[in-house]
Amino acid sequence: MTHLPRARALTLGAATALALAACSTTDPNQAGTAAGSGSGSAAGSGEVQTGNGVTDAEIRIGMLTDLSGPFAAGAAVQVTETKAYWDQVNAAGGVCDRDVAVDVQDHGYDPQKAVTLYRSMAPDVIALQQVLGGPTSAAVLPLAEQDDVYVGGVGWAGSALQYANNQLPGASYAIEGANAIDHLVDGLGVAEGARIGVVYFAGDYGADVLAGAEHAAEERGVEIVAQEITSATTDLSAQASALAQAGVAGVVLGAAPTQLASLAGSLASQGVDVPLIGMNPTFNPSLLTTPARDALLANTYSITSVAPYSSDAEGVKAANELYAQADPDGALGWEVPLAYVQGELLKQALQGACDSGDLTPEGVVAALRESSSVDTQGLLPDGLDYSQVGQSPTTTVYLSKVDADAPAGLALVDELSGPSAESFSYGG
Amino acid sequence: MSELRGNPWPRRVGGLVLVLVALALPLALSDFWLQTGLFVMAAAIGAVGLTLLVGVAGQLSLGHAAFAAIGAYVYAWSTGEATSTVGGAGLPPLAGLVLAAVVSALVGAAFSPVAGRLRGIYLGLATLGLVFVVRHLLVNLDQWTGGFTGRSVESFALGGFSFSNSDPDYLAVAGVEFEGLHRLWYLFLVLALAACWLAGNLRSGRTGRAWANVRDSETAAAAMGIGVARAKASVFVVSSAYAGVAGAMLALAYGRVAPDVFSLTASVDFLVMIVLGGLGSVGGAVVGALFVTALPLVLAEYSGSLPFLAAPGSGGLDPSTASRIVYGLAIIAVLLFLRGGLAGAARRLRHGSAPGAPPSAPGPTPHDPLSTHDVGRPAGGPARSKETTP
Amino acid sequence: MTYFLAQVLNGLSYGLVLSLIAAGFAIVFTSTGVLNFAHGSVVLLGAYLVAVLHPTLGFWPSLLVGMAGSALVGVAINALLVRHLADQNAGTAAILMLGVDIVLLTELTRRIGNQVLTLGAPWGASVVRFGDVSLPTGRVVAAGVTVVAFAGLWYLFARTDLGVGMRAAAADGPTASLMGIRLTRTAATGWALAGVLAAVAGVFLTSFPAPGVAPTVALSAFAAIPAWVLGGFDSVPGAVVGGLVIGLTSALVTGYEGDLERFVGTGFGEVAPYVVMIVVLLVRPSGLLGSKEAVRV
């Protein structure tokens, strides 16, 4: 840039003065209409007040997902299932006499893209069914909270619970971690005083798992041996030998499928035969084609907040059938029931907002927070309580065992709600 | 950019028009474009600082994001209120912004002895280490930084006027409601213009010439009476201060800070901006920032409307993947076809000169900081000069 | 003690794999002066080719194809892109490679999806025991192959016309050119060698104890950058030393995380290589075995 010439500086000043002269600080909307909520307008059909993303014929919802980054493949499954779900809802008459349209955008796991796409989407949608990914949802959630926009599907990290506008699908990671310890003690015979390894990703996901496990360890009188890794760590032999050295009686893993296979294989190769429990996103059926197959089949479990693909609950069956129709060649996995139940939860919130005559973003958040006992036909544990901001909506999780014969490689063992999961409380 | 050749008036009028357009844009733009603009302006300031360091003074840095991170967190900590989980000094936002620049500059000064010892690509990769070290500190010093999830950032305010959606709760200019994004736009515009003006002056003034001399030959510079160590330290200080302000602006644009924002990718992106724009050119850095920051955002926003692409998850080439590939190809194309980057192309367009004509600017000319000469490497390969006729 | 020994062996064997990648950086840099930001994608490409071809071709033939494929991509990048840069300098070349990396990595990520592709390596998940210490067979093979590869490189650079020509071109391009050495040929050889080494490294990085080919493998190449830098930019032996130092550092810092946590915080294993790199550079500004930088007047 050149030296700012005086003439330009003067013009700049003049322009600023002009702009200031054109200012106004009285809101014509506030003065004109009845005390509405923000941008809401009382026009529209019947008695229902509507706001962003709602017309007489349509309700528009958003989905910010990762179709080009590290979670692209699983995210694509969720997009397919979500679209199929809302098509089904629309075919059955829609919500509040309106069709529901889904606006899908790809943030590629980049917070900058996520924030910008949120800005472009927010004025046109009533709620966000999903903002996928830790860093991306962490960037969007506070903005959405300011705008009072419902945000679902941000994963299960406890750090998201502080936002009143967030819907967490099932138990948070800390609850999963606490249940894992409870199950190791109660179900798998780990003795008091024993050591349990926790291998976890740096970040909100891993830290939450660790927090839950540490709480449970204190309650149950076991000792935690923690090992922090990152998603770039694909060879866990160093961690495995550290755990072997510590003589652990069980391992809890808060990471991703690559790490599960590497850890299971490395532990087995070092002759460590202890149960390994992975959290929600750590299992992927394609792991059963890797050299770690035998190790995984031997002694590996998965704890999930959503019912596994192989569950025979009514809701899960419906979800799977819908997906099989939408994409006969699609990849199976926990994403299918998850996407379905995300749609189901949002539908219930939209319906609640409609019933209370406030089909606005604020109305949807309010409807979510008024629901203290949500049932989802076995997709999530019954009786989800969303009325407590800051706490996990449930303490129940699903325990599955890796099983080559089960669909998507996981056979449901049981629903668990252990004592230390129930005594866990955020900020307490 | 600051070479004042021939008649300067057409360029001045052009600049004035650009500024007026930038002033008027918030009246017309949607939130998406406003948010994009904020990110672009924040990145532009960082890129301008880096082009002084790399392009003018020839000190390669891959650690610019580390200094930006320091600025962002200093702003967040100094303006934030202390809570049960994170500390904060509760200072006024303006003080926070100044502190962000000052602390980053001090860290830059502390790092400059290292810079004095290393040269060229060695320096570049040592600064790359800085990104990882700073990130490690950000994650582990959670009582100040909020750890991995980061912390929220107080919005900027000046004398009771807040650059957010409140205070005043309602503000309209010419019938358009001015919310936080609109207000920040003007704050960022003022900062960006000031930063560019200052950089242009520094570059063509005594300091800039000293930097360029050090870049071209330390021995010759020393013989001419330039304090080499001081010149190197000063450019590190200036560039780090720029990065610090850019970081604070990014924090404001996000409304929060987290270590992820200042990753290695962010550092490399700054370098991409200045190389694409044309090394050493302030205008080029701004255009490079626009290209690198806005292109992926715009592609992501509008890729869905490209009709010939497959649906997501169908196994074909989906819009998101396509947009990422287009971004990569765009970088390759600029480097293959535009000599002197975007700024060089613009210069040739403006002067209608032959594409191969060497820039005759009196100021420091773009230079290759990775130059293998510095590490005793041959002039072979890409360092080999090529016929300049197209 | 057994534990310490296990971590040391583990670190050294991982370090040898890193040194294959680091040597690729060094060879490309010496032969053409390019900081190859796309090297990680080439590593991934080699492994990916082996993973998709082994069911039909078998492991060893597909390994050959993978090596050839990676080498070819390297040569093509040099011939089609690097040599046609508008500004022939190392800075633009590095950014060009970044563009190449984005394109390659995006396409490979799309192809891999969320599958964990296996390599069908004959050593599977087996382990070799040395007394109380066990090491995955894949790692033992990797160590052997790396030693052979570096012996081959030594022979090439010391005993063959081509290798001597490459060294001459690296030392003084214009003079070498005047003496009848074809720089295009030495450059192409450099890129091809780097590609071959990358494919081999890719196979070892993705076979047991790693589960298989996933896009994150490309990031592993970044772990080799400190190894390359601290060894010296233009030194293949430096790459070996650097790889071993970095491998050992990572393994020990990770293995003793519990004891170190009080001093350096959690997750220091990821940062330690860079800290070692900075310290080495401060003591020896051109790396452990790099040639002394020339000061031009």
Is the C-alpha dihedral spanning B44, B47, B53, B56 positive or negative?
Answer: negative
Give the pLDDT band of residue B315 (cuts 50, 70, 90).
low
Give the pLDDT band of residue B377 (cuts 50, 70, 90).
very low
Do the domains A49-171+310-394 and A173-304+400-423 sit in the same CATH topology, yes or no? yes
pLDDT at B8: 66
Judged against a pLDDT cut of 70, whether residue B2 lies above it is answered with: no
pLDDT at A180: 96
A24-28, B28-32, B363-367 — which one is most confidently predicted on average?
Answer: B28-32
Q: Which two tokens stand for residue C150?
A: 């570096």
Judged against a pLDDT cut of 50, whether residue C227 lies above it is answered with: yes
**B222 has a chain C CB within 8 A of its CB:** no
pLDDT digits (tens, 9 = 90+) for A118-167: 988 998 999 999 999 888 888 899 889 988 999 998 889 888 898 999 99
ipTM exceeds 0.90, yes or no: no
Question: To the nearest whole angstrom, how far is the Cα of A8 from the nearest Cα of chain C?
Answer: 36
Give the pLDDT band of residue A228 (cuts 50, 70, 90).
confident
CA distance B19 to B194: 12
Mean pLDDT of C252-270: 78
pLDDT at B265: 85
| Nearest-CB residue to B133 (from C106, C266, C274) | C274
Give the pLDDT band of residue A26 (cuts 50, 70, 90).
low
Q: Is there a contact between C163 and C177 (Cβ–Cβ < 8 Å)?
A: no
Give chain A's radius of gyration (CA, Å): 24
DSSP-based three-state secondary structure for A359:
strand
- SS3 of A412-428: the string is EEEEECCHHHHHCCCCC
Element (H, E) at A115: helix A111-121
Q: Is there a contact between B110 and C274 (Cβ–Cβ < 8 Å)?
A: no
- Domain spans of chain B, in order of start: 26-262
pLDDT digits (tens, 9 = 90+) for A249-308: 999 999 988 889 899 988 988 888 999 999 988 888 888 888 888 899 998 999 999 999
Where do the domains of chain C lie, and which CATH numbers do they carry? Answer: 2-283 (1.10.3470)
Higher model confidence: residue B18 or residue C42?
A: C42
CA neighbours closer than 13 Å in the CB half-sphere of residue B251: 35
DSSP-based three-state secondary structure for C267:
coil
pLDDT at A322: 92
Q: What does pLDDT average to over chain B?
A: 81
**C109 has a chain A CB within 8 A of its CB:** yes
Asked whether the beta carbons of residue A258 and residue C127 sit closer than 8 angstroms, the reply is no
Higher model confidence: residue C200 or residue B217?
A: C200
pLDDT digits (tens, 9 = 90+) for B124-172: 888 888 999 999 899 888 888 888 878 888 889 888 788 887 777 777 7
Ranking A257-261, A409-413, B360-364, C11-15 by mean pLDDT, the lowest is B360-364
How many other CB atoms sit within 10 Å of the CB of residue C2?
11
Residues of chain C in contact with residue B220, where contact means CB-CB under 8 angstroms, are 297
Asked whether the beta carbons of residue B325 and residue C187 sit closer than 8 angstroms, the reply is no
pLDDT at C240: 93
Judged against a pLDDT cut of 80, whether residue C189 lies above it is answered with: yes
pLDDT cut 70: percent of chain B above it: 84
pLDDT at A225: 92
Judged against a pLDDT cut of 70, whether residue C29 lies above it is answered with: yes
**Sequence-separated (6 or more) residues with CB below 8 Å from residue C291:** B376, C232, C234, C235
Strands A195-201 and A223-229 come out as parallel
Question: To the nearest whole angstrom, how far is the Cα of A84 from the nearest Cα of chain B?
Answer: 13
pLDDT digits (tens, 9 = 90+) for C115-170: 778 888 888 878 888 877 888 888 899 999 999 999 999 999 888 888 888 888 87
Higher model confidence: residue B385 or residue A48?
A: A48
Mean pLDDT of A368-382: 89
A219-233, B294-308, B355-369 — which one is most confidently predicted on average?
Answer: A219-233
**Sequence-separated (6 or more) residues with CB below 8 Å from residue B132:** B264, C270, C271, C274
Higher model confidence: residue B99 or residue C263?
A: B99
**A8 has a chain B CB within 8 A of its CB:** yes
Q: What does pLDDT average to over chain A?
A: 86
**B219 has a chain C CB within 8 A of its CB:** yes
Asked whether the beta carbons of residue A240 and residue C209 sit closer than 8 angstroms, the reply is yes
Nearest CA in chain A to C6: A241
Q: Taking the C-alpha atoms of A321, A325, A329 and A331 in order, what is their torsion angle to the nearest 10 degrees?
A: -40
Mean pLDDT of B61-88: 90
Chains with 3+ CB–CB pairs under 8 A to A are B, C
DSSP state of C294: P
Asked whether the beta carbons of residue A143 and residue B319 sit closer than 8 angstroms, the reply is no
Question: Cα separations (Å) of C274 from A4, A30, B139, C271?
Answer: 43, 57, 16, 6
C161: exposed, middle or buried (Cβ count in 10 Å: 0-12, 13-18, 19+): exposed
Which has the closest alpha carbon to C54: C203, C226, C234, C231? C203
How many helices (H) and strands (E) chain A has is answered by 14, 15
Residue with tokens 């010419």: B174
Residues of chain B in contact with residue C34, where contact means CB-CB under 8 angstroms, are 381-382
Q: Is there a contact between B282 and A1 (Cβ–Cβ < 8 Å)?
A: yes
C55: exposed, middle or buried (Cβ count in 10 Å: 0-12, 13-18, 19+): exposed
Q: Is there a contact between C123 and A256 (Cβ–Cβ < 8 Å)?
A: no
DSSP-based three-state secondary structure for A331:
coil
Judged against a pLDDT cut of 80, whether residue A47 lies above it is answered with: no
CA distance A150 to A360: 10
Question: Cα separations (Å) of B274 from B128, B144, B204, B367?
Answer: 17, 32, 18, 12
**A26 has a chain B CB within 8 A of its CB:** yes
- Domain spans of chain A, in order of start: 49-171+310-394, 173-304+400-423
pLDDT at B378: 36
Residues of chain A in contact with residue C210, where contact means CB-CB under 8 angstroms, are 234-235, 258, 262
Is the C-alpha dihedral spanning A199, A205, A208, A212 positive or negative?
Answer: negative
| Nearest-CB residue to C209 (from A226, A236, A289) | A236
Beta bridge mates, A179: none
Give the pLDDT band of residue A353 (cuts 50, 70, 90).
very high
Asked whether the beta carbons of residue A240 and residue C7 sit closer than 8 angstroms, the reply is no
Number of B/C CB contacts below 8 angstroms equals: 214
pLDDT at A102: 92
Judged against a pLDDT cut of 80, whether residue A332 lies above it is answered with: no
CA distance B120 to B201: 25
Asked whether the beta carbons of residue A291 and residue C250 sit closer than 8 angstroms, the reply is no
Judged against a pLDDT cut of 60, whether residue B386 lies above it is answered with: no
Higher model confidence: residue B4 or residue C148?
A: C148
CA distance B57 to B49: 11
Nearest CA in chain B to C99: B328
Interface of A with C in 160-219 (CB under 8 A): 202
pLDDT at B286: 94
Residue with tokens 């930006």: B68
Judged against a pLDDT cut of 80, whether residue A1 lies above it is answered with: no
Give the pLDDT band of residue A365 (cuts 50, 70, 90).
very high
Judged against a pLDDT cut of 60, whether residue B382 lies above it is answered with: no
Question: Cα separations (Å) of C212 from A70, A257, A271?
Answer: 15, 11, 21
pLDDT at A150: 94
Mean pLDDT of A83-109: 91
Q: Is there a contact between C124 and A269 (Cβ–Cβ < 8 Å)?
A: no
Beta bridge mates, A275: none
Q: What does pLDDT average to over chain C?
A: 87
> Fold for domain A173-304+400-423?
Rossmann fold (3.40.50)
CATH of A49-171+310-394, one of 3.30.9.10, 3.40.50.2300, 3.40.50.620, 3.40.190.10: 3.40.50.2300
Give the pLDDT band of residue A190 (cuts 50, 70, 90).
very high
pLDDT digits (tens, 9 = 90+) for B8-53: 677 778 888 888 888 888 888 888 999 999 999 999 999 999 999 9
Question: To the nearest whole angstrom, how far is the Cα of B120 from the nearest Cα of chain C?
Answer: 10
Asked whether the beta carbons of residue B300 and residue A8 sit closer than 8 angstroms, the reply is no
**A181 has a chain B CB within 8 A of its CB:** no
Question: To the nearest whole angstrom, how far is the Cα of A217 from the nearest Cα of chain C?
Answer: 17
**A19 has a chain B CB within 8 A of its CB:** yes
Helical ranges in chain C per DSSP H: 2-32, 39-57, 59-76, 90-112, 137-159, 161-171, 173-178, 183-206, 217-231, 236-255, 257-264, 272-283
Asked whether the beta carbons of residue C95 and residue B272 sit closer than 8 angstroms, the reply is yes
Beta bridge mates, A408: none
Nearest CA in chain C to A77: C114
Residues of chain A in contact with residue B258, where contact means CB-CB under 8 angstroms, are 111, 135, 138-139
Which has the closest alpha carbon to A350: A100, A168, A105, A140? A100
